[in-house]
Amino acid sequence: MKWHEITPNEEYQENLPRVQLVYDVVGGEFLLKKRDNEKPGTYLRVINSLDTSEYNRRLNASYRKSAVFYNATGRTLVGLLGMLYRIDPIIPELPSMMEYVEIDIDGNGMGINQQSHAVSSEVIQVGRHGLLTDMPIKEGGGVTTVADVSNGLRPFVKRYRVLDIIDWDESAINGLTKPNLIVLTETFTHFVDEMRIKKEIKKRFRILRLTDNKYTQQLWIEGEDEPEEEFEILDGAGNVFDEIPFVVIGSENNDLSVDPLPLESVARINIGHYRNGADLEHSSFQLSAATPHIADDNYKNVLANPNNKTSTVQKFGESSIIVTGTGGKFEFVQPSPNVLANDLAKNKEQQMIALGAQLISDSGGTETAEAVRTKRAADTSMLAVIGTNVSNGYTKSLNWVARFLNVDFDGEYQLNSNFFDIKLSPQERQQIIVEWQSGLYPARIAREQLQISKVISIDEKLDELQEEVNGELSTIDLADVV
């Protein structure tokens, strides 16, 4: 088998055009026009596609240039991420050897919250993203020690876009379904001169396998005839991993299957809106000016004989005049407004709103409380699932980090699940206090409710808040209060 013979999974190939469309739409007008300039007809239609003349080439270039893209898809993504991260994720209590993940989980200076934000963005767009927990190979091999970690040798969590996860397989092992093959593509910088100035970007495959319940890795660099030697991955206790520490985070669940692309429907309508807008701009430019119409045989004869020195025909413009002769008629023909393309564009705006882009639009009307609750439930059901999937994916990854370091860890990484501000009335706040005083729940629960509704800052540590309250109560002289 040769390097170029590695072929992507069938599901991957079927999903690729859909993923590329969403990425391009979120990328905005510049990227869409770049695709059409590279391959005309990718998103905007080609005018007179059979006409290969220079005039038609310029006409199409003008048509593409005048098109204006209203990126409702990108704004919807920003709105969804804003809801998901309106409150910072909860990072569990970490062993001292794992605290670095808060500021550098990937080895490139990105903290866990920053990375999870990027992962959530990908899952909202294309419904799929991967996380690989990996440990750099210790020079000379052997088990990683505390001293090694202190010197900077530590496991990292690397993320892989849907385009980078090109093949996968799974099997049932002891009643549990586990991935047994993951093929990832990576790029790296290769210097081609001794001075390390001239460089090129090369590609490689990272092949993760689970064989006989033992996890191995193998690298195959672009252009090489053979892959590098396969090697086993050891945990912090010196045992070979019995699973591939790679998790696929999806829009529905975290298995290996391809999940729906949450923003695909909005993106496709957005492209239709873009096309209607381009047609409207083009027709407005082509037909907006009044067209002269002269009904006169003498004028027609003069046009047929442009060398006629006695011609009364003048060019249009300032101080120009047209003489038509007896019975002749001169007028300007003004086209009716092109309302069809405009109506189609407006219809697609409504469709985008119905498909989830309402996050970018204010209805301006009055709705019942039940209608608002129903709409919010529909808007956030997908977001809640994605938030849970990202949380579970990072909890898994942190457990693999702990295993690489051979430290105890029992915690959960949690994304925000309260997507809207909750405002409590004075009566509702009083009810919380009454229920706490009656012994229905401890003070911690009451404070959490007040924190969610932002009566107490979300950044407040509840245990520190309790200590502050206790300290204040200890200084109060109850006799003075009475």
Q: Is the confidence at residue 51, as pLDDT, over 70?
A: yes
What pLDDT is stored for residue 120 in this prediction? Answer: 97
**Quick one: pLDDT at residue 365?**
46
Q: Determine contact, residues 183/12, Cβ cutoff 8 Å.
A: no
Does residue 141 carry a pLDDT above 50? yes
Output the pLDDT for position 481. Answer: 47
pLDDT given for residue 136 in this prediction:
84
Higher pLDDT: 460 or 190? It is: 190
427 pLDDT exceeds 50? yes
Residue pLDDT, tens place only, 221-249: 888 888 889 999 988 888 999 999 999 99
pLDDT beyond 60 at 368: no
Q: How confident is the model at residue 390 (pLDDT cuts 50, 70, 90)?
A: very high
Sheet architecture: strand order including 231-232: 165-173, 176-191, 199-211, 214-221, 231-232
Residue 278, token pair as written in the block: 């381009």
Please tell me the least confidently modeled range out of 24-38, 244-258, 337-351: 337-351
Q: Is the pLDDT of residue 293 over 60?
A: yes
Distance, in Å, from the CA atom of 337 to the CA atom of 242, rounded to the nearest integer, reads 69
Backbone angles phi, psi at 462, to 5 degrees: -65, -35
Whole-number pLDDT of residue 204? 92
**How many CA atoms are closer than 13 Å to the CA of 331, on its beta-carbon side?**
6
| 44 in Cβ contact with 277 (< 8 Å) | no
DSSP state string for 305-329: -TT-TT--B--SSTT--B---TT-E
Tokens of 53: 């003349």
Q: Give strand pairing partners of 2.
A: none
Q: CA 88, CA 111: separation in Å to the nearest integer?
A: 12
Lowest-confidence range among 89-103, 179-193, 204-218, 459-473? 459-473
**Angle between the 112-126 and 72-84 helix axes, to the nearest 10 degrees?**
140
Average pLDDT over residues 455-469: 65
Query: Lowest-confidence range among 77-91, 125-139, 423-437?
Result: 423-437
Question: Which of the pair, 7 or 459, is modelled with greater confidence?
Answer: 7
CA–CA gap between residue 209 and residue 407 (Å, rounded): 25
Q: Taking the CB of residue 447, how many other CB atoms lie within 10 A of it?
A: 19
Q: CA of 449: how far to CAs of 84, 87, 433, 442, 452, in Å?
A: 19, 14, 10, 12, 5
- The 10 Å Cβ neighbour count of residue 207 is 19
Least confident interval from 117-121, 246-250, 326-330, 395-399: 326-330
27 vs 469: which has the higher pLDDT = 27
Cα 243 to Cα 104, 143, 173, 237, 320: the distances in Å are 24, 18, 10, 15, 86
User: What six digits make up the tokens of 118?
Assistant: 């990027």
Q: Where do the domains of the chain lie?
A: 290-334, 423-474
Q: Report the SS3 class of residue 261.
A: coil
- Show the beta-strand stretches assigned E in 16-173: 128-134, 156-161, 165-173
The pLDDT assigned to 473 comes to 57
What's the rounded Cα separation, in Å, for the pair 35 and 24? Answer: 8
Tokens (6 digits) for 233 = 């991955």
Name the band, by pLDDT with cuts 50, 70 and 90, for residue 363. very low
Does the pLDDT at position 459 exceed 80?
no
φ, ψ for residue 332 (rounded to 5)? -105, 135
Work out the average pLDDT over 293-316: 59
Question: Residue 115 has what pLDDT?
Answer: 97
CA distance 386 to 155: 25
Mean pLDDT on 271-298? 73
For residue 121, name the pLDDT band (cuts at 50, 70, 90): very high
**Complete DSSP assignment for 194-219:** TTS-SEEEEEEEEEEEEETTEEEEEE
In whole angstroms, give the CA distance from residue 46 to residue 52.
Answer: 11
pLDDT-derived band at 357 (thresholds 50, 70, 90) equals very low
Name the more confident of 285 and 98: 98
Please give the C-alpha separations between residue 171 and each of 29, 53, 141, 302, 429, in angstroms, as whole numbers: 43, 57, 30, 85, 53
Cβ neighbours of residue 23 under 8 Å, at least 6 residues apart? 125, 126
92 DSSP 8-state letter: P
pLDDT at 463 over 70: no
For residue 251, CA distances in Å to 16, 117, 342 come to 16, 15, 34
CB 261 within 8 A of CB 19: yes
Nearest one of 354, 358, 352, 338 to 274, comparing CA atoms: 352
Show the tokens assigned to 196.
């390390």
Mean pLDDT taken over the chain: 80
Percent of the chain with pLDDT over 90: 41
Burial of 220 (0-12, 13-18, 19+ CB in 10 A): buried
Please count the other Cβ atoms lying within 10 Å of the Cβ belonging to residue 325: 11
